[in-house]
Chain A
Amino acid sequence: MSEFFAMGGYGVYVWGSYGVTFVLLAIEVVLLLKRKRETKT
């Protein structure tokens, strides 16, 4: 398990990429759903 997260020593680069990507996509979705609620669509 910890071997998986270590990514052969590249963990910080791999998870830094995936983490930021999915956080940003999640933020876009949350902001959009908030806007959707406010416009009552």
Chain B
Amino acid sequence: MTAESLKWFWYASPQTFFPLAGRIARVCAALAAILTLAGLYVGFFVAPTDAQQGEAYRIIFIHVPAAWMSMFIYVVMACWAALGLALNTRLSFMMTRALAPTGALFTFIALWTGSLWGRPTWGTYWVWGDTRLMTELILLFLYFGVMALQAAIDERRRSDRAGAVLAIVGVVNIPIIYYSVQWWNTLHQGASVSFTRAPSMAATMFTGMILMAAAFWMYSIAVALTRVRCEIVESE
């Protein structure tokens, strides 16, 4: 075994992870605040008015980053759940517990802001049966389901494992959300940003969106690590 992998096992122990998590959380919280201010400044004062949607498009600066986080946090949470089931490490399940509420929050924000954006652009807050909207709503229920299972069973080990199994099964929903705009007819527009082509928007709009995405990332890391520290103390 190499020294490098030994170091990772060292950090897999809650006791050694605890102070490290606190330091990372503080740095990320400060970065989240700075990036949010920068993102709001660019989003409201630098990015131009959209030719088609007017000022309504400015919802994009929270809608898209929140939707990204809702999916990404779920995948990270499911990875910790899988690690927990495979290696039976306590810290993995604690990370699953720490991530679920924040993931659910960003899912709700994505749905809420999407609804308020849909009204002026599509003429409706919500469309039952639209695949992008439905799969994102299912994501919210998956988060609630994982949290409910983690809380419902008195025996900690069993509730952790039950939550982890649902979290892993639910991962199948993530690519369906992501590709729903291509696979089905939906009111929702296609991705404005992808890995394979230049973003289909003004550079300053893109900058504002990336700044807010970075802010939400930092926020999520800070909150999840602070919550996992609480989990570690409470489990002792």
Contact = CB atoms under 8 A, between A and B. Distances in A.
Interface of A: 4, 7-10, 13-14, 16-18, 20-21, 24-25, 28-29, 32, 35-36, 39-41
Contacts of B59: 13-14, 17
B56 A28 contact: no
Q: How large is the interface on B (under 10, 10 to 19, 20 to 34, 35 or more residues)?
A: 20 to 34
Contacts of B102: 28
30 contacts: A4-B44, A7-B55, A7-B56, A7-B58, A8-B54, A8-B55, A10-B54, A10-B120, A13-B56, A14-B116, A17-B59, A17-B63, A17-B112, A17-B116, A18-B62, A20-B112, A21-B62, A21-B66, A21-B109, A24-B108, A25-B105, A28-B102, A28-B105, A28-B223, A29-B223, A32-B223, A36-B230, A39-B233, A41-B22, A41-B233
Nearest to A18: B62
Given A14-B59, A28-B101, A41 B229 contact: yes
A25 B104 CA distance: 12
Given A8-B56, A10-B54, A10-B55, 19 more contacts: A7-B56, A7-B58, A8-B54, A8-B55, A10-B56, A13-B56, A13-B116, A14-B55, A20-B112, A20-B113, A21-B62, A21-B112, A28-B105, A32-B227, A35-B230, A36-B230, A40-B233, A41-B229, A41-B232
